[in-house]
């Protein structure tokens, strides 16, 4: 369980997050929606300790990641997978090297087991046989899926997705949505998905939270959000309805 | 006054923190071992051709200029003294360092800068890697080890080419050149040159890693980081060169 309590984060005196509190329950997929620049990605980076808030606490299974020392922080991060908006694959490494880099570091496994796990992760994201390709040889959707394979390689309990469908064509975006659902179904991971793609939000989300003016303005199940009269939600929904 | 100096103090603070973090990360041996070997090949073996070329021309030019200055004024065998001393004490370490600041420093800054702006360094962090141990420590170790090695190669090829040019240009034998080379040589000169090149070998990758690691602002930011790395390293080489000459050479007096 992830418990975010009263966090404030500012950049150059501009408050991006202001007394924000939020709870992510075990095994659920929480989708955070909000306008561009509303601080969604900042929130993800705070959860995994890439950024530090000025005030507040972020408890991961009761341990405050904000106050964690270097070693504790590394231990806590091993429970996480992170899928970056840009995929952030290591461009000098092959697909398999990207996936097994952390395995080699954190698991003292024999080479054969590392190869098996790499293949297993690639199979999970339907990218069999691409082990020796470089990221530059892959399409945007493939890179995103390699990012997912890399994120799940170390058996994380939590996966954070930063705009997983942004910049992808509808079919590829739908594949990614189905992949997120598959992760929940088969691996029982807890996920936090940051997006402004409402179709994706309604497809993968058990709960949806709106980040607006530095706070969570409204949160609830997709059915509740669909009926909301919150002006920001209505703006998001009007775009979604138009698309549909 | 403080307001004007504040950005400079901030930069120095961040630089110091990165070096401190690098020192602490030395215990994370398994993270940096493989990359250190790779960086040693890049900094050492792959830089060897350009360093040898620079060393050869450095020796040739030096001998021609010294011969020109000595003609009809002093014994010609002194060309061996001047060429050897100037190459070991100054030209070898400094020219090798300047070459490395351009070739290696720019490459490290661009690589780390690109990794920063494409979130690859963040990716390392979320995978519970120590990015400093993985990216910065290898270049510092490789720089400190390989720069003196390259400098020795530059010294040897420089003196050798200086000797050949002296023999070909004027009526001077190899024995006379070597007599001159031995005349004022003391072992401390070589030690000083190696210490100097090791110091340069630390700061060139340190500067590059610093500007690369904290790059902001996309492709333009990477370009600026690369330029800054070369400029900072070149200026630092000149300043450190003077400081070491002033304080370190006195130890040999």
Q: Give the mean pLDDT of B46-69.
A: 95
Antiparallel, parallel or unpaired: β A29-33 and A207-212 = parallel
Q: Is the pLDDT of residue A20 over 80?
A: yes
Q: Do B122 and A75 make contact, defined as CB atoms within 8 angstroms? A: no
Q: What is the pLDDT of residue B4?
A: 77
Mean pLDDT calculated for residue range B201-218: 95
pLDDT on residue A171: 84
User: Would you call B122 and A90 a contact, using CB atoms and an 8 Å cutoff?
Assistant: no
Segment B114-132 shows an average pLDDT of 95
| ipTM reported for the complex, 2 dp | 0.90
* Residue A127 pLDDT exceeds 60: yes
Q: Is the predicted pLDDT of residue B138 greater than 80, yes or no?
A: yes
Q: Give, rounded to a whole angstrom, the gap between the first and last alpha carbons of chain A.
A: 34
pLDDT above 60: residue B141? yes
Binned at pLDDT 50, 70 and 90, residue A108 comes out as: confident
d(CA A71, CA A147): 25
Evaluate if residue A239 carries a pLDDT over 70. Answer: no
Please tell me which of the candidates B115, B118, B126 has its beta carbon nearest to residue A82.
Answer: B126
Question: Given an 8 Å threshold on Cβ–Cβ distance, is B120 in contact with A91?
Answer: yes
Q: In the numeric block, which tokens belong to residue A58?
A: 């972020």
- Minimal Cβ distance to B122: which of A50, A91, A105: A50
A48-67 per-position pLDDT tens digit: 999 999 999 999 998 999 99
Whose tokens are 């991006």? That residue is A16
Convert the pLDDT of each residue in A135-179 to its tens digit. Answer: 999 998 899 999 999 999 999 999 999 998 888 888 888 888 998
Are residues B125 and A78, on separate chains, in Cβ contact within 8 Å?
no
Q: Facing residues of A47 across strands?
A: none
Q: Percentage of chain B with pLDDT > 90?
A: 82
DSSP class of residue A230? -
pLDDT at site B127: 94
Would the pLDDT of A243 be above 70?
no
Look up tokens 């991060």; give the residue.
A77
């Amino acid at each position: 369980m992830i418990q975010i309590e009263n966090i404030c984060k500012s950049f150059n005196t501009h408050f991006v997050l202001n007394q924000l509190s939020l709870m992510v329950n075990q095994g659920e997929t929480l989708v955070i929606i909000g306008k561009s620049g509303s601080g969604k990605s900042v929130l993800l980076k705070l959860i995994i300790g890439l950024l530090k808030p000025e005030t507040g606490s972020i408890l991961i299974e009761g341990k405050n990641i904000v106050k964690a020392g270097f070693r504790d922080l590394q231990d806590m991060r091993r429970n996480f997978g992170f899928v970056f908006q840009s995929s952030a694959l290591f461009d000098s490494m092959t697909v398999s090297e990207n996936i097994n880099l952390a395995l080699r570091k954190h698991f003292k496994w024999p080479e054969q087991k590392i190869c098996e796990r790499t293949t297993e992760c690639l199979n999970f994201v339907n990218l069999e046989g691409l082990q020796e390709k470089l990221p530059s040889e892959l399409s945007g959707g493939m890179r995103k899926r390699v990012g997912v394979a890399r994120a799940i390689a170390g058996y994380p309990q939590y996966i954070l997705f930063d705009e997983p469908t942004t910049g992808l064509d509808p079919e590829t975006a739908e594949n990614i949505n189905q992949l997120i659902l598959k992760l929940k179904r088969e691996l029982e991971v807890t996920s936090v998905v940051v997006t402004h793609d409402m179709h994706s939000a309604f497809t993968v989300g058990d709960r949806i939270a709106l980040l607006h003016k530095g706070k969570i303005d409204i949160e609830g199940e997709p059915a509740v959000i669909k009926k909301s009269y919150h002006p920001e939600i209505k703006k998001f929904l009007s775009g979604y309805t138009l698309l549909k | 006054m403080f307001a004007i100096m504040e950005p400079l103090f901030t930069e120095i603070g961040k630089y110091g923190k990165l070096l401190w973090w690098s020192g602490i990360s030395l215990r994370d041996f398994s993270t940096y071992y493989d990359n250190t070997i790779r960086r040693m090949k890049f900094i050492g073996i792959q830089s060897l051709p350009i360093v040898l070329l620079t060393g050869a021309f450095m020796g040739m030019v030096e001998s021609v200029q010294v011969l020109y200055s000595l003609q009809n004024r002093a014994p010609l065998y002194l060309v061996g003294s001047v060429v050897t001393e100037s190459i070991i004490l100054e030209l070898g370490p400094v020219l090798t360092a300047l070459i490395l600041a351009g070739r290696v420093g720019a490459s490290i800054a661009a690589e780390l800068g690109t990794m920063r702006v494409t979130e690859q360094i963040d990716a390392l962090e979320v995978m519970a890697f120590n990015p400093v141990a993985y990216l910065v420590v290898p270049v510092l170790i490789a720089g400190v080890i390989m720069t003196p090695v390259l400098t020795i190669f530059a010294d040897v090829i420089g003196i050798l080419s200086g000797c050949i040019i002296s023999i070909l240009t004027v009526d001077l034998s190899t024995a006379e050149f070597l007599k001159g080379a031995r005349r004022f040589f003391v072992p401390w000169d070589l030690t000083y040159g190696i210490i100097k090149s090791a110091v340069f070998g630390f700061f060139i990758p340190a500067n590059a890693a610093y500007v690369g690691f904290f790059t902001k602002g996309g492709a333009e930011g990477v370009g600026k980081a690369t330029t800054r790395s070369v400029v900072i390293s070149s200026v630092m080489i000149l300043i450190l060169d003077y400081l070491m000459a002033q304080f370190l050479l006195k130890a040999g007096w």
